[in-house]
A and B are shown apart, each in its own frame.
Chain A
Amino acid sequence: MEKKTYESKSEMNRSRKFGKNHHKMELLSFGDRIPNGTFAIHSRFRRSVNFYNNSVLISIVNEDIGRGPLNIIMRGLDLQKIHSLSIYNNILTINNIRILIHEIVKYSSRLSLKTISISKFTDNLEFLQTALPKLCVEKSLGFLIDEKREMELSTGFEKEFVKRMRAGVELIIDGKMTSLENGISTIKGCGFGLTPGGDDFIAGLLAGLYLKQELFGNDLSEIRNAIYKTAQGDNLISNTFLYLARDGLFVERFKNFINSLLCEEKEEIHANIQKIINVGETSGADMLVGFMFSFKKVGELW
C-alpha cells in the first residue's frame, strides 16, 4: 500500500483536520468589522459557514460570495469541515490551525466617494429603475416595482405575503414617521428564507438612505435609527445585515454597485446589478428593490 508523505508537519496537521482534500490554506480577506472572540457555529451552507458570539455574526465564505465587513475568505479550506473559530490579537484560529492576519488582507467596508457626478447619478438611478424590474429573480420582491411579477407568487402563503408587503410599503412611503414605523413593523420578518425578503428590503432601504445622506448632506440619521430599531427582530443574520446597512458598511458587491451608480456607464451598472442578484436566492434582488425605494420622494421624511 502506498504510504502518504507530507511536505511538512503543519501540512500533516492540516490533512488530519481538513480531510484528504486539504490544500495549502491562504487567508484572502478579513472584514474590518470582525471582533475578537471565540465563536460557535450558527449555520452552514454550501458556500459559507456562519459563526456567532453574543449578538455578532461572522461568516467564512468562499471566493464566489466575496469580501465583506464580517466575511473571512480562505483559499484551500473545506468549508464543510470547519468546526471551530477564534480570533485574538491578529491571529485567526480555525480548527486549531493558526493563521496570521496581515493588514494587506483587511477589507475596508466604507464607501470612498472620491469621484461623484450627481447628474450622472440621477441619470443612472433612472436606468436602475428601468433595468431592475427585468433583472429581479423569480419570487423576489420584483412585484413591488412591476405588478406583472405578482403572478410568480401563487400559493396561499405567497399571496398573503404579497398583500403584507404591499401594505407595509404603502405605509413606508406615506410620508409620516408613525406610518414609516408601522410599515417597517408590517414587513419585517416576512418572507421565506433565512433572511426574509422584508428584512432584505429594509436593509436596502437603509443602505440607500445612508448613501442619500452622504451625497446630499441632509441628516437622515434619526430616520435611519428609527427604521433600524423597529426592524430589529430575533433573526441574528437579519439584524447583522440591518446594522451594517444603517452604518453604511457594505460588502464588496454592493460597494461596486454604488460606485458604478455614481460615476460609471450603464453597462457597468447592469453588470454590478447582475453580480448582486447572482449571489443566489432572492436577497440581492430584494435589497435592491428596497434601495430603489429610498430614492423615492417620501413626504417630508426624505
Chain B
Amino acid sequence: MVVKGKIKRGEYFDSVTLMLVAKQINVIAGITDAAVVMNTEENRSILESSGLLMPEFESAKGSDLLICLKAESNEIAEKAMLQVDDVLDKVRHEISDTEDFLPKSLETAMKTMPDANLALISVAGKYAAREAMKALKKGLHVMIFSDNVPIENEIKLKKYAKENDLLVMGPDCGTAIINGVPLAFANVVNRGNVGIVAASGTGLQEISSIISNNGSGISQAIGTGGRDVKKEVGGIIFLAALDALNRDKSTEIIVLVSKPPAKEVLKKILEKVKNITKPVIAIFFGADDKTFKNSKAIQAKTLEEAAFIAVNLAKKKDKDSFKEMLVKRQKTIQETAKKEVNTKNREQKYLRGLFCGGTLCEEAQIIFQDQIGDVYSNMSSKEKFLLKDSWESCRNTVIDMGGDEFTVGRPHPMIDFSLRNRRILKEAEDPEVAVILFDVVLGYGSNMNPAEELVPVIKKANSISKRGQISFVCSITGTEYDPQNRRKVKQKLEEAGVYVMESNAAACELSGLIIKILSEKFEKKEDRHGNK
C-alpha cells in the first residue's frame, strides 16, 4: 500500500468542492482512501489518525490545501493525483471563466442576440417577476424556471402577457420544447406535428418521449407552471397556449396534460377546446369522467395512453389501434408478475415507489387505486393516506422525492440521486417490502450517469434483503437521443436485474400486479390454515 501526499500552496476551495473531489478519487479502482482538506493543525491530526499524514505536511501553512491518498500501487497513486489536479483546475477555471461567457443583464443579452424572442429567467424567486416583466416589455416570451414567485406577481405577469399576445411559461416551469429547442429539463425528441400544453413537468417529458420513441414528434411543448391551472390564476397561459397551438401551422394534434386543475379552470379549458379546430387529447389527473361527457377532447387515462393516441392520430391511424398492443403487453406483465411472486416469502407484501417526477408519482397513485387500492404518499390528496412523516413509508407507499421536504439544500432528485439511493437501501431493509418501483428521467439537466449511480445501490439493496428477493421495477422517461441515451441506461439497469418498462404506466401495472397476486396468494394460504 502506498500513501502519497501533496500540498497546494495558497489554494482555497469550499467544503463541497473538496468533498466532491475526495468522492471522485475514492471511487478510482486501486484507491483505498483519500482526503482533500484545508491545512489546519486539527485536520493534520485527523489525517494522522486515519493513516494519511505525510511528513511534508509539516511545512504547510494555513492557506494551503492538503491532498493525500492511499493506493495499491505508486502508479495508481500518481494517476489519481493528476486527476485531483485536473478536477481542481476545472473548478478554478469555472470560477474565472464564467463571467466572460454570460451576459449579466437582459440588455446585454439582447445586444448579443438581437433576434431572440424568448427569455428564460432563472434567478432567485423574489427577483424573477421583475426580470420577467422587463423581458415582456421588450416583447419577449418568457419562461420562468424560478420558483417562490408570489402568486400576485404571477397573475400580473400573465395578464400583461395575455394583453400583449405573449406567453409566460412558469413560474416553476421546469421544461419546454420551443421550435425544436429543449429548454431546462427536457428531452431530445423528434420534431413532428404534435403540440403539447402542460401544467406538469414530468408529464410533458413522459408524453413527448413516448411520442418520439414511437416514431412521431413534437412541434411545440409549452409548460405553464403548475399554479397556472389553479383557481387564482385561472389558466390564463394554459388557454393562451392552446390558442397558440391552434394557430401554429406545424401543430396538427394537441395534447393537454395537467396535475389536478381547479374545477372552474378545467371547465374553461374544455369550453375552449370546443373552438379548437385540431384534435385534442387531454389527461387531467383527478378529473372525473363526467366532466368530459360533452367535451370534444379525447380523454386519456394515462400519460402513455395520451401519447399513443397522439401518435396514431399523427400517423393518420385509428386512434385506438394501440390497445391491441396493450393487451399483448398485459399478458407479458402477468407472466412476469407470477414469476416474481414465486421469489417472495410470506412477509413480503408491500411496494415502495420512489419517484423523482411529481406527475409520475401522481399517475402511480391513480393506477394503484384501481389495482390495489389507495396507497400512502407524501403527495396524497386524501388526508387518510397522506404520510405523517415523508421519511417513513407505511404499507404500500409512493413518494415524490421532488417534494420540498427532500429538496432543501440539495439539487432536485433528477440530478442528485443520493437521497433516493439512501431511501432504496432503507426500504430494502424492511422485510415487508416486495417491490421497489422507481423512475429515471433523462434529458438535459438530469443526472448524466443514472445507471452508474443506481446499479451499485440496487446490488447492495439485494444483498441487504436476505429473506426474499425484492423486485425492482422502473420506467425511463427519455429517448435514445438524450445525452444519457435511453437504450444504454436500459441495458445497464436490466443487467442489474431491474425490470425496465416502456412507460410509467407499465411499470406501475407490473408493480401493482405483483402486490395484488401476493396478497391473494397469502390470503388464500392463511384461509386454508385457518390462521386468519
Give chain A's interface residues, CB within 8 Å of chain B: 19, 21, 23, 43-46, 63-64, 76, 78-81, 134-139, 151, 155-161, 163-164, 186-198, 233-236, 273-274, 277-278, 280-285
Nearest 8 CB-CB pairs, A to B?
A193-B15, A189-B40, A157-B35, A189-B42, A156-B50, A137-B409, A43-B12, A156-B33
Any chain A CB within 8 A of the CB of B104? yes
A192 to B52, CA, bound (A): 15
Let me know if B15 and A191 touch, CB within 8 A. Answer: yes
> Is B150 an interface residue, CB under 8 A from the partner?
no
- Could you tell me if B409 and A285 are in contact, using CB atoms closer than 8 angstroms? yes
B43 touches A190 (CB 8 A): yes
CB pair A278–B108 under 8 Å, yes or no, is: no
CB neighbours of A194 from chain B (8 A): 12-15, 38
Q: Is the Cβ of B38 less than 8 Å from the Cβ of A135?
A: no
Q: Are B408 and A135 in contact (CB under 8 A)?
A: yes
**Binding stretch for chain A, among B90-98, B224-232, B335-343, B512-520:** B90-98
- Let me know if A193 and B13 touch, CB within 8 A: yes
Do B12 and A233 have beta carbons less than 8 Å apart? no
Within 8 A of A (CB), among B154-204: none
The interface centre, meaning the residue of B70, B98, B422 with most chain A CB atoms within 10 A of its CB, is B422
Contact A190 B52 (CB under 8 A): no
CB contact under 8 A between A193 and B38, given known A78-B104, A234-B62, A274-B409: yes
Alpha-carbon distance A188/B45, docked complex (angstroms): 12
Pick the residue among B22, B49, B95 that contacts A80 (CB under 8 A). Answer: B95
List residues 12-43 of chain B with CB under 8 A from any CB of chain A.
12-19, 22, 26, 33-38, 40-43
Contacts of B47 in A (CB 8 A): 157, 160
* Cα distance, A135 to B410, chains bound together (Å): 9
On chain B, the residues within 8 Å of A136 by CB distance are 409
Contacts of A189 in B (CB 8 A): 40-43
Q: Which residues of A contact B22 (CB under 8 A)?
A: 155, 157, 192
Shortest Cβ gap from A144 to chain B (Å)? 16
Please state if A157 and B98 are interface contacts (CB–CB under 8 Å). no
Q: How large is the interface on B (under 10, 10 to 19, 20 to 34, 35 or more residues)?
A: 35 or more
B409→A135 contact, CB < 8 A:
yes
Q: Give Cα distance in the complex from A63 to B125, angstroms.
A: 13
Partner of B50, one of A160, A198, A234: A160
> From residue B474, how far is it (CB to closest CB) to chain A in Å?
23
| Contact across chains for B34 and A23 when beta carbons are under 8 A apart | no
- B70: chain A residues at CB < 8 Å are 156
Q: Does B418 contact A (CB under 8 A)?
A: yes
Chain B residues within an 8 Å CB radius of A138: 410, 418
A160 and B49 within 8 A (CB): yes
CB contacts (< 8 Å) of B98 on chain A: these are 46, 80
**Within 8 Å CB of A163, what residues of B?**
49
A156–B99 Cα distance when bound, in Å, is: 37
Tell me, yes or no, whether B286 is within 8 Å of chain A by CB: no
Tell me the complex Cα distance, A39–B38, Å.
23
**Can you name 22 A-B pairs with beta carbons within 8 Å?**
A19-B99, A21-B100, A45-B14, A46-B94, A64-B124, A134-B405, A135-B409, A139-B15, A156-B35, A157-B33, A157-B37, A158-B35, A164-B49, A189-B42, A190-B46, A193-B14, A193-B16, A195-B15, A196-B38, A234-B62, A274-B409, A285-B409
A196–B43 CB distance below 8 A: yes
Picked from B42, B104, B127, the residue with its CB within 8 Å of the CB of A190 is: B42
CA distance in complex: A80, B143 (Å):
29
Q: Could you tell me if A23 and B42 are in contact, using CB atoms closer than 8 angstroms? A: no
Q: A21-B103, A189-B42 are in contact. Are A274 and B35 (CB under 8 A)?
A: no
Query: Which of chain B's residues have a CB closer than 8 A to the CB of A63?
Result: 124, 127
Q: Is B59 an interface residue (CB 8 A)?
A: no
Closest Cβ neighbor of A273 among chain B residues? B408
Q: Would A151 and B13 count as touching, CB distance under 8 A?
A: no
Partner among A134, A159, A161 whose Cβ is within 8 Å of the Cβ of B391: A134
Decide if B105 is an interface residue (CB 8 Å cutoff): yes
Q: For residue A21, which residues in chain B have a CB less than 8 angstroms away from its CB?
A: 99-100, 103-104, 108
Q: How far is the CB of A191 from chain B (nearest CB, A)?
A: 7
B215 close to A (CB within 8 Å): no
Q: What's the Cα separation between A63 and B127 when bound, in Å?
A: 11
Bound: A196/B19 CA distance, A: 12
Alpha-carbon separation in the docked complex, A280 to B410 (Å): 9
Contact status A164-B409, CB under 8 Å: no
Q: Which residues of A contact B37 (CB under 8 A)?
A: 157, 191-192
Q: Per a CB cutoff under 8 Å, which of A64, A81, A282 touches B99?
A: A81
A184 CB to nearest chain B CB (Å): 11
Contact B409 A192 (CB under 8 A): no
Partner of A193 from the list B17, B45, B99, B410 (CB cut-off 8 Å) is B17
Q: How far is the CB of A224 from chain B (nearest CB, A)?
A: 21
Does A160 contact B42, Cβ atoms closer than 8 Å?
no
Asked if B51 is an interface residue, CB under 8 A from chain A, the answer is yes
Distance in angstroms between the alpha carbons of A258 and B124 in the assembled complex: 22
> Shortest beta-carbon distance, B387 to chain A, in Å?
13
B43 CB contacts on chain A under 8 angstroms = 189-191, 196
**Which residues of A are found within 8 Å of B36, using beta-carbon distances?**
192
Q: A274 to B35: give the CA distance in the assembly, Å.
A: 29
B193 to chain A: closest CB distance in Å?
41
A278 surroundings in chain B (CB, below 8 A):
408-409
CA separation between A188 and B104, bound complex, in Å? 39
